[in-house]
Chains A and B, each alone.
Chain A
């Protein structure tokens, strides 16, 4: 080991001296080849929707049992990397068991936000109390079916149906019950 190291160092020093000598003393033939244009770029994760800039799916007051509002939104993935997309709501939803939210996945091609024209449902992502809707990426609902990754130009339409549940408890609605203002977020993360 030590011997080899010594030999190596010696060769290196000789080479260095030879190089220095060459610069000073002679010209020489040389040839070189290169491999140019190497590049490395990251992929993209990009997701958008057709609501024209974070417009609400529902804003309605003065509702009674059975009243509902139905809206559709299309989410499009344009990133180059395959991603998982999760749907979740912001925190601060109120109203206890007063409101029911149903979110269906499906296909829509020509409908204009927030209309549900030509929406065809394919699966139900959520159907329950609004207050129990997930509020983080970790607990979020699958944008597609379970473990289905999104690839470039994938589009999924969602139909949101919020409604007021029946409640004949005497005196239970002498004051307004509000859901509070809340956001829905679709978040894409590359797989």
Chain B
């Protein structure tokens, strides 16, 4: 009888010890650094073409030309540099197309895309090809990617684009007087890419 009682007591004690081992919390204390935060700035570049092409020559004769203007606006919070480049497809007409890109602004209210009415070229002769001209060469020689891209407005003095900055670019394309151009075609994409500085 008393042995059973002793065993019971022992068993209860053991259960208590086991339960204790599982539930006793250690002492704890903490120290903290609160409300840390880190955020990025933005790089945002847009144009006013609403996704439409700005240059077109079809069934063109030697000397045929087309010109159009596009407004490029920067609204990012970080200062950025911009480069121009673009990819070409087609059957090789790009070797016989001359491209001239002039940077400037509209003197009054901006005309509808892609008109160049009231366009004024920048006064600076960036590339030795006239006021505001930043590229003057064949379409084939126009750079295809950012790495080789044309620095706006010139490599030696890249523009630092800041929020709210806008520039207008006039693109003129002219078909050379060269019989080898006959029957060829080209399709070009022009890209302005901003990267923070």
Within 8 A of B (CB), among A135-191: 162, 164, 168, 170, 173-191
Query: A187 touching B38 by the CB < 8 A rule?
Result: no
The answer to whether the Cβ of A10 comes within 8 Å of any Cβ in the partner chain is no
**A65 contacts across to B, CB distance below 8 A:** 196
Inter-subunit contact B78/A186 (CB<8 Å): no
Q: In the complex the two chains form, what is the Cα distance from A164 to B78 in whole Å?
A: 13
Q: Assuming A54-B33, A62-B77, A179-B36, is B27 touching A173 (CB within 8 A)? A: no
User: Is B30 part of the contact surface with A, judged by Cβ < 8 Å?
Assistant: yes
Contact between B37 and A59 (Cβ–Cβ < 8 Å)? yes
A9 interface residue per 8 A CB criterion:
no
For A174, what are the chain B residues with a Cβ–Cβ distance below 8 Å? Answer: 42-44, 76
| A177-B195 CB under 8 A given contacts A73-B33, A187-B30 | no
Q: Once A and B bind, how many residue pairs between them come within 8 Å at the CB atom?
A: 133
- Interface: A124 (CB within 8 A): no
Q: Mark out the residues of chain B between 1 and 46 whose CB falls within 8 Å of any chain A CB in the assembled complex.
A: 2, 26-44
A146 to chain B, nearest CB (A): 19
Q: Given the known A-B contacts A168-B195, A173-B43, A177-B40, are A55 and B34 also in contact in the complex, defined by CB atoms under 8 Å?
A: yes
Q: Is the pair A79, B27 in contact by a Cβ cutoff of 8 Å?
A: yes
Which has the most chain A C-beta neighbours within 10 Å: B40, B42, B77, B196? B40
Q: Is B27 touching A164 in the complex (CB atoms < 8 A)? A: no
Residues of A within 8 A of B2 (CB): 1, 5
CA distance A170 to B26 in the complex (A): 52
Given contacts A64-B78, A168-B195, contact A179 B37 (CB under 8 A): yes
Contact in complex: B30, A186 (CB < 8 Å): yes
Q: How far is the CA of A174 from the CA of B39 in the complex (A)?
A: 13
CB of A56 within 8 A of CB of B27, answer no
| Contact of A99 with B by CB under 8 A | yes
Q: Which of A46, A99, A184 contacts B32 (CB 8 A)?
A: A184
Candidates B26, B32, B193; contact of A185 at CB < 8 Å:
B32
Docked CA distance A98–B40 (Å): 8
A48 at the interface (CB under 8 A from B): yes
B37 touches A79 (CB 8 A): no
* Interface pair A180/B33, CB less than 8 Å apart: no
- Min CB–CB distance A186 → chain B (angstroms): 5
CB distance from A1 to the nearest CB of B (A): 8
A residues near B195, Cβ cutoff 8 Å: 168
- Cβ–Cβ contact B28 & A188, under 8 A: yes
Query: Which of A54, A61, A185 is the one whose CB lies under 8 Å from B39?
Result: A61
| A63 proximal to B (CB < 8 A) | yes
CB-nearest residue of chain B relative to A49? B31
- Per-residue A-contact encoding for B177-197, CB less than 8 Å = 1, 0 else: 000000000000000010110
Chain B residue numbers with a CB within 8 Å of A46 are 29
Q: Smallest Cβ distance from B144 to chain A, in angstroms?
A: 15
Residue of A whose beta carbon sits closest to that of B195? A168
Provide the residues of chain B in CB contact with A42, threshold 8 Å.
Answer: 27
A44 to B29, CA, bound (A): 9
In the complex, are the beta carbons of B33 and A51 less than 8 A apart?
Answer: yes
CB pair A182 B30 closer than 8 Å: no
A122 within 8 A of B: no
Q: Are A178 and B42 in contact (CB under 8 A)?
A: no
Is A43 on the interface with B (CB-CB < 8 A)?
Answer: yes
A176–B29 CB distance below 8 A = no
Find B36's partner among A61, A164, A184 (CB 8 Å cutoff): A184
A-B contact pairs, 12 of them (CB 8 A): A46-B29, A56-B35, A62-B78, A63-B39, A64-B78, A174-B43, A176-B42, A178-B39, A179-B37, A183-B34, A184-B33, A186-B32
- B: residues with CB less than 8 A from A are 2, 26-44, 76-78, 193, 195-196
